[in-house]
Structure 1
Amino acid sequence: MSTPTQEHKASDEGQVLADPTAYSDEPRLHAALTNLRANEPVAWVDNAPYRPFWAITKHADIMAIERENNLFVSGPRPLLMPADAEDLLQAQQDAGIGLRTLIHMDDPHHRDVRKIGADWFRPKAMRALKLRVDELARRYVDRMRDIGPECDFVTDIAVNYPLYVILSLLGLPEEDFPRMLQLTQEMFGGDDAEHQRGGTPEDMLAVLMDFFTYFASLTASRRAHPTDDLASAIANGLIDGEPMSDMDTASYYVIVASAGHDTTKDGISGGLRALIDYPDQLARLRDDPALMPTAVEEMIRWTTPVKEFMRTATADTEVRGVPIAQGESVYLAYVSGNRDEEIFDEPFRFDVSRDPNKHLSFGYGVHFCLGAALARMEMNSLFTELVPRLESIELAGPPELSATTFVGGLKHLPIRYSVR
């Protein structure tokens, strides 16, 4: 993968975005992002082992770039990865055996592939799934009651509930859920010592190959014996009248199973931590359950599970007057956009009644998150079940955030509580 040779002055504050540990240190991260928004909203970041990029930290600029999806494209660099990992992935894709999900694609191919699964996330499908989601919400609040008065909310509840939802949608058997949990944690935990399989690009490739092996068998089964589930829709999906390649099919499963699980886990666990940190907001939500939809949106803004995506300029252009050369990449800092003082009144205040709430946590434009409606429904169902039954709650130890540059949130949330 080539890198533009134009010289730029590197931003000191911007280096935080190329440091996975910064996302496990929120005061440090937000101090740097606040400074960038005010003084350097388009900042050049050059910090090995990553290739350089322009950090975009203002909400309006992020939205403008997302709208210009022909000028700023996902390929070949849809997210921040070390240079050697980018090179390995590109070589695998060139050989036809690399991960190529919706986040790696651009229109028109992206649009055609997205259509294959889109019906499963529309309102009609969500209504049909809601009984299962509500049932699982009750199951996991009951589990909190049964294992109390203390638990690690992340490992005991938050990682399991959305995994069961998304794998139920795919139609996978419950005995396969532990395997999927391990693989999704390894995929998104590549920067975190606790969850990574190893620290090399080859280790990440091994995780992907384990995913592919599992889903190749699933594809063969669903093509031979179609069923009424999302896995069947993916296995039998057609592009221009032809089945998707085996790798594109497996990649579709991977993004649904992993992104549909891990991001929601982060929203749920971070949302509960916010209610603990702001007991007045928990009391408001308990007293007025009609606030739940806006509370869920605020939890999603507050946690911002997907930290960034990247885009590459297809022509010379500029952002906020700063020249961006063809071939240079921009880093869309959603975490920063969701704290933009020009968009959000008191952005560092957690407010369950915040409205409007124009957060960027699901992206914007053609790459708006396919599973946004499902994530909202899962969070609504869990907190609708939990909040009325929650008699008391407090931290039982320090929360721990994962080190990441892409998807992440709490990896441990020890709590002491009473649930009816």
Structure 2
Amino acid sequence: MHGGDGGRAAARPVTAASVLADPLAYTDEVGLHRALTHLRATAPVSWVDVPNYAPFWAITKHADIIEIERANDVFTNSPRPVLVTREGDEQQAASGIKTLIHMDDPQHRDVRAIGANWFRPKAMRALKDRADALAKQFVDAMVTEGPECDFVQKVAVNYPLYMIMTLLGVPEDDFGLMLKLTQELFGSDDDEFKRGDMAEQMTALLEMFQYFTELTAARRANPTEDLASAIANATIDGEPLTDIETVSYYAIIAAAGHDTSSASIAGGMHALIEQPEQLARLRDDPALMPLAVEEMVRWTTPVKEFMRTAQRDYVIRGVTIAAGESVLLSYVSGNRDEEVFADPFTFDVGRVPNRHIAFGYGVHFCLGAALARLEIASFFGELLPRLESVELAGPPDYLATTFVGGLKHLPIRYSLR
């Protein structure tokens, strides 16, 4: 597969790589990581050609993922930014939706700039009081709900949802609708969350579009001091955004700003339960929190992959990626790369250095990274001093996905003061 064998023509299918196109593989973390560890060691650049998906190269090493992210003039997000089925590729192309993850420079740079200031560290400092208040609200709710709850559904999905909707300016009465729509969009591979067939799943997308189209009209008529207003009234080269552009912007912020943080918080909680010595260490030394947040994000890697398409032939590890071929950047694999992380399968709240790529790398580095870090730190900063005991009350359950996800159920038994 590598070391100068000439690329696809000489490639042999590696069964292990097919896990990356199997939503159910992500529900079995042990099996997934066994396969990815094998790939990193034996075939770090692997050709994947499985039913229902357009073929692609799987990139599993940390250094190679960074190399491709840096070469954003060669490897573009368009036309295939995410791994979905062939039918999903066609639906995406037909829908006309173009979020930040579908764009390349210079358009990506111009559109990203519209929301950039809302996610800078200075803006996050202004949001900290809101994050802390919400964290207290949800930990208090755990007390009321206790001594057991499904931590994902009661806490982890709701806390970041409230944060991102507050930032956008969506009224609280509509939070439930947004939760349902984002779960249907990102849970489209999971039997519990998906809405029927592909046509019905597109209905969820259209409902979100309808909602945000109305929000745009309202903010243009009566501008307010929220992110929705900034998007609705933004201009590029003197021209306002089209309806599809404004709605695409809302959709990526509403969905990505919610599901990723919830997966990190849920996965972080699970890791602390499984490693009580790490929980005690973090509780006894709150100064470790920034490091612990990074480790939770590395450990869970909520965004499993992004895709890129080669605009010209490119050689990586001796393998030629031909112009027009796609690569899948496996962040899940990169974040367990033995060449980058000491003891990568150990959850370490004091890990230094921690060069994880869970937020991506380069020009497409996650716009909401600072917000995610704030949310996770605020939540555990509130929870841990009050947590007297916690244990699993049932088996954890993972979302079937090839894109964004993590735990969908985490039954816990706990005592809080």
Q: Which range, TM-score by smaller chain? A: over 0.9
Out of 286, 290, 304, the residue aligned to residue 287 of structure 2 is 290
Equivalent residue number for residue 49 of structure 2: 46
Equivalent residue number for residue 23 of structure 1: 26
Out of 380, 385, 390, the residue aligned to residue 388 of structure 1 is 385
Conserved in 2, the CA contact under 8 Å of 1:14 and 1:55?
yes
Conserved in 2, the CA contact under 8 Å of 1:45 and 1:55?
yes
5+ residue gaps, structure 2: 1-7
SS in 2 for 1:145: helix
SS in 1 for 2:47: strand
- Report the CA distance between 1:70 and its aligned residue: 0.5
- Report the CA distance between 1:204 and its aligned residue: 2.3
TM-score in terms of structure 2 length: 0.97
- Report the CA distance between 1:125 and its aligned residue: 1.0
Letter in 2 for 1:163: L
- Report the CA distance between 1:123 and its aligned residue: 1.6
Out of 228, 231, 236, the residue aligned to residue 233 of structure 2 is 236
- The 2-side partners of 1:30 and 1:199 are apart by 30
Equivalent residue number for residue 126 of structure 1: 124
TM-score in terms of structure 1 length: 0.97
Equivalent residue number for residue 183 of structure 2: 185
- Bigger drift between 5-14 and 310-319 goes to 5-14
SS in 2 for 1:90: helix
SS in 1 for 2:192: coil
- The 1-side partners of 2:133 and 2:213 are apart by 30
- Report the CA distance between 1:203 and its aligned residue: 2.1
Equivalent residue number for residue 96 of structure 1: none
- The 2-side partners of 1:156 and 1:123 are apart by 28
Conserved in 2, the CA contact under 8 Å of 1:191 and 1:199?
no
SS in 1 for 2:295: helix
Equivalent residue number for residue 74 of structure 2: 71
Conserved in 2, the CA contact under 8 Å of 1:151 and 1:415?
yes
Letter in 2 for 1:169: L
- Report the CA distance between 1:199 and its aligned residue: 3.1
CA-to-aligned-CA distance 1:96-152 (integer Å, 9 cap, x gap): xxx210000000000000000001001221111111111000000001111100000
Equivalent residue number for residue 56 of structure 1: 59
CA-to-aligned-CA distance 1:249-273 (integer Å, 9 cap, x gap): 1000000000000010000000000
CA-to-aligned-CA distance 1:317-353 (integer Å, 9 cap, x gap): 1111101100000000000000000000000000000
Equivalent residue number for residue 404 of structure 2: 407
- Report the CA distance between 1:9 and its aligned residue: 2.6
Matched, 1:329 2:326: yes
Matched, 1:156 2:159: no
Equivalent residue number for residue 5 of structure 2: none
SS in 2 for 1:318: strand
- The 2-side partners of 1:7 and 1:240 are apart by 48
CA-to-aligned-CA distance 1:128-184 (integer Å, 9 cap, x gap): 111111100000000111110000000000111000000000011100000000000
SS in 2 for 1:380: helix
SS in 1 for 2:412: strand
Q: What is the RMSD of the two structures over their aligned residues, measured on CA atoms?
A: 1.1
Equivalent residue number for residue 254 of structure 1: 251
- The 2-side partners of 1:375 and 1:134 are apart by 13
Letter in 1 for 2:298: R
Out of 71, 82, 85, the residue aligned to residue 82 of structure 1 is 85
- Report the CA distance between 1:206 and its aligned residue: 1.0
Q: How many residues align?
A: 411
Equivalent residue number for residue 100 of structure 2: 102
SS in 2 for 1:416: strand
